[in-house]
Amino acid sequence: MTTSTIAPEQVNRIVSNQHHDPFEVLGSHLVEQEGKNIWAVRAYLPNASAVYVVVPQERKEYAMERVHHPHFFECTIEVEELNNYQLRIQEGEHERVIYDPYAFRSPRLTNFDLHLFGEGNHHRIYEKLGAHLTEIDGIKGVYFAVWAPSARNVSLLGDFNHWDGRKHQMRKGHTGVWELFIPELGPGENYKYEIKNFDGHIYEKSDPYGFQQEPRPKTASIVTDLNAYPWGDEQWMETRRNRDPLGQPISVYEVHLGSWLHGNSAKPAKLPDGTEEPVVIASELNPGARFLTYRELAAKLIPYVKDMGYTHIELLPIAEHPFDGSWGYQVTGYYAPTSRFGTPGDFMYFVDQCHLNGIGVLVDWVPGHFPKDGHGLAFFDGTHLYEHADPRKGEHKEWGTLVFNYSRNEVRNFLVANALFWFDKYHIDGIRVDAVASMLYLDYCRKDGEWVANEYGGRENLEAADFLRQVNHNIFSYFPGVLSIAEESTSWPMVSWPTYTGGLGFNLKWNMGWMHDMLDYFSMDPWFRQFHQNNVTFSMWYNHSENFMLALSHDEVVHGKSNIIGKMPGDRWQKLANVRALFTYMFAHPGKKTMFMSMEFGQWSEWNVWADLEWGLLQHEPHEQLRVFFREINSVYRSEPALYSQDFAREGFEWIDCSDNRHSVVSFVRRAKDSDEFVVVVCNFTPQPHSHYRIGVPEKGFYTELFNSDAREYGGSNMGNLGGKWTDDWSLHNRPYSLDLCLPPLGVLILKLDRIKTAQSLG
């Protein structure tokens, strides 16, 4: 008969799941009994009918006996060392042999890890918290760690313990991180954390640092190895590291993967090993369709984007989210690419294939707010852990979401490391930070009395601004050559200025003012445009205050706003001509470019997250011609350094004439960096053609018509200048020479001095 070495109250704390450190009770302990040092082995095993300790080095078993509770077992063993023992457990007619999780006592997080996390500066905390495949004392398994400082207890739930929170109780460290190593677990295990607060309430939570989740509507995290994928993009990564992206052409195709194209639900995708990938139905509203996988999207989307000439794909948030209709902007799994389209390895394959085809990958990132879903971050440890407790700071009532508490070091660390994570593990080339204005202003979408001023009495969220500086400083420190883009809709100063100058540290900012001005301008009848020339020219007054990206995004084609073509006045021909004129002006205007999927072929209806894009329109000639137009304007843009190399330098742009509001015509010059190359752009924003329209130009010679948005192959009237024009020795617009041009209706011309032809003629 074994004499118990443990007090009943200690056993009761384990049985009732109220012990903050079960290692104090469970596992192996060196104790003194009858003047001898012996090993006491204890285990709490609900459902067990008999348990034996297997000591491999002795090739011997020791029967355990029940003490103080029917499912609490203990035995004593007289051996010098007790390493890697096993438990043979009988549960009715079933038997299993396991390594005891409580025999692996050494925590894997060092004090230095915890110190850095506590001060908000552990930039790779995702390699410590979460679920990690590891090996301890020669035994492979999974190490789990989660931050829940106010929890009374935390347990692991999973298929491996039949979702019974009594079986794998975790240990709490002094910083509020709970941890446990479970031997012999491997990739693919589903798990959650069972968190209890001091009132006894239980919360089942997905892992905030989980690398994979089950396809919705399920919410468990999945143990995943992120280091197994064989990347092939070394050359791309090295080139990116040594290149300034702001001097390169950037033409971004913004995509929502779930609605670009669907597959047939009856035809699941084949994985490389020949097995079938689980089918994820796209929507209950569309039961005959399924989501394409990341690998299928690589085979379909990448060739399309490459053929169209875009330099980057921007993905609406692909971090895990529960509701398709949120478009990904209400994230519950910040470290997990959504399982709608496959596994983390599948997403790595997608990014890798983009790079191998010369396409960069941008990802929308949402650090401003998160949803209230029970399995997510909200009220994570029974307290307001990730969000502010005060709803005047911690809730976006308009969106029904919660606001991160940027003043808490560990929360800030969670987000900073998350941004770095996507660059590190998935090789992405940039982030577009969503809703930056909602982060920067304490009174954003709040009425008087519904917000709290900062310490100086102002409306600025100083903690959020500091957080953004920290994010951007670290991104560019670790990953030179990438992009960090702010969707910031106000006049907050120095958004795209470096942090060492006091800026927020982004290297690009969406130009929301240009977007609103141009959509207002193009939506009006052309006759009225003469009274609104300022809409076209105003952007150049402030263009050099920031590094701007011109964006016509998904937000402009939903919620009753109509798609781009539907915003245009006139008959169908005029609508298409207006679209071509708008986008040609956009590509000629200083700034990088972003446009949303479906704009390139003139989809009439608004974007519908539940359906495919209207690809059937391409069987109609006008829509196919518009697609050809976009392919060609991308080609011209990428081939002419004058259109991109000095987007943010005053030397890169000069007006020729911006005052001809009577004809709604503007003309300007774009110049290349470190070169005498330049292009001349002339825009006619009315349906009235002009057969003899003269503009001044800086140099004498023959100007080739590089691009004409009114060309026949694009569906235009084919008015133009027969390939180009020679200058006349007439000074105009303060320039020594001029061109007599034919301006097509609702057309934009891009012309370039042909120096070879000019030299041959003059020489």
In tens, the pLDDT along 90-125 reads 998 999 999 999 999 888 899 999 999 999 999 999
Pairing state between β 221-222 and 190-196: antiparallel
CB neighbours (10 Å) of residue 68?
Answer: 16
Q: Hey, what domains does the chain have and what are their CATH numbers? A: 8-99 (2.60.40.10), 111-223 (2.60.40.10), 247-639 (3.20.20.80), 646-762 (2.60.40.1180)
pLDDT at residue 191 is higher than 50:
yes
Average pLDDT, the chain: 94
Q: Kindly list the strands in the beta sheet with 724-726, ordered across the sheet, starting from the edge strand earlier in the chain.
A: 653-660, 665-671, 678-684, 747-753, 702-708, 724-726
DSSP conformation letters of 415-457: HHHHHHHHHHHH---EEEETTHHHHHBTTTT--TTSS---TTS
Q: What is residue 394's predicted lDDT score, i.e. its pLDDT?
A: 87
- Cite the active site residues: 434, 487
Instruction: Give the whole-angstrom CA distance, residue 420 versus residue 422.
Output: 6
Q: What is residue 284's predicted lDDT score, i.e. its pLDDT?
A: 56
Q: What is residue 567's predicted lDDT score, i.e. its pLDDT?
A: 96
* DSSP classification of residue 276: B
Band the pLDDT of 330: cuts 50, 70, 90: very high
pLDDT at residue 33 is higher than 80:
no
Report the pLDDT averaged over residues 361-379: 97
Closest to 434 measured CA to CA, from 508, 329, 331, 523: 329
Report the pLDDT averaged over residues 699-715: 97
Q: What is residue 585's predicted lDDT score, i.e. its pLDDT?
A: 98
* DSSP classification of residue 25: T
pLDDT at residue 70 is higher than 50:
yes
**731 Cβ neighbours under 8 A, 6+ residues apart:** 696, 737, 738
Q: What is residue 1's predicted lDDT score, i.e. its pLDDT?
A: 45
Report the pLDDT averaged over residues 19-31: 93
Distances (CA, A) of 635 to 219, 250, 308, 640, 682: 44, 12, 8, 9, 19
Instruction: Give the whole-angstrom CA distance, residue 288 versus residue 718.
Output: 44
Band the pLDDT of 243: cuts 50, 70, 90: very high
Band the pLDDT of 695: cuts 50, 70, 90: very high
Is the dihedral angle over the CA atoms 641, 643, 649, 655 positive or is it negative?
positive
pLDDT tens, 124-158?
A: 999 999 999 999 999 999 999 999 999 999 999 99
The percentage of the chain sitting over the pLDDT mark of 90, rounded to a whole number, equals 89
**528 Cβ neighbours under 8 A, 6+ residues apart:** none
pLDDT at residue 579 is higher than 80:
yes
Q: What is residue 278's predicted lDDT score, i.e. its pLDDT?
A: 61
Q: Greater confidence, 281 or 167?
A: 167
pLDDT at residue 667 is higher than 50:
yes
Q: What is residue 717's predicted lDDT score, i.e. its pLDDT?
A: 97
Phi then psi dihedrals of residue 95, to 5 deg: -140, 145
pLDDT at residue 716 is higher than 90:
yes
Report the pLDDT averaged over residues 439-456: 93
pLDDT at residue 232 is higher than 80:
yes
Judge if pTM exceeds 0.75: yes
Q: What is residue 271's predicted lDDT score, i.e. its pLDDT?
A: 53
pLDDT at residue 31 is higher than 90:
no
Q: What is residue 34's predicted lDDT score, i.e. its pLDDT?
A: 72
Q: What is the largest CA-CA distance in the chain?
A: 114
Q: What is residue 408's predicted lDDT score, i.e. its pLDDT?
A: 96
Report the pLDDT averaged over residues 54-83: 90
SS3 of 634-681: HHHHHHCHHHCCCCCCHHHEEEEEEEECCCCEEEEEEECCCCCCEEEE
Band the pLDDT of 277: cuts 50, 70, 90: low
Closest to 669 measured CA to CA, from 679, 657, 684, 683: 679
- Amino acid symbol at 586: M
pLDDT at residue 275 is higher than 60:
no
